[in-house]
Amino acid sequence: MYKPRKTESKLMIYQKYVDLIEYSYNLLVKYPKYEKYALVSEIRRTMYNSLRYILYANKISNKYNRIVILGKLDAEIAMMGFFVRFSYKNKYINTNNYYTWSKKIEEIGRILGGWIKSCLKE
């Protein structure tokens, strides 16, 4: 099992995003077979890209480059929100799953907004 480094484990957005990935995987298994290679693979790609951007942004010391990476992360999180709404409208997930999943994404978005604000103040 992967054990996060000390800097990763201190980063709240990293912990929340790993929780989101674990929650998402449990839902993605239940999607219809014809969506496994389309929507499900796009959701997974978006999740991995977002996690990658979180780790990149944490490592970068240049303020401008960090803000660029955080902007890309913001776009990926917006895509996740779209995929969740799309899944709900097509009845791949129920109302409870939609509510929980979207709340997790919304919380990560708020944390990201705070991170961006703190970078702009520096």
Q: What is the pLDDT of residues 32-42, one digit of tens each?
A: 999 988 999 99
* DSSP state letters, the chain: -----HHHHH-HHHHHHHHHHHHHHHHHTTS-GGGTTTHHHHHHHHHHHHHHHHHHHHH---HHHHHHHHHHHHHHHHHHHHHHHHHHHTTSS-HHHHHHHHHHHHHHHHHHHHHHHHHHH-
Q: What is the pLDDT of residues 1-55, one digit of tens each?
A: 555 555 554 689 999 999 999 999 999 999 999 998 899 999 999 999 999 999 9
Q: Delineate the domains of the chain, giving CATH numbers in brackets.
A: 6-121 (1.20.1440.60)
pTM for the whole thing? 0.86
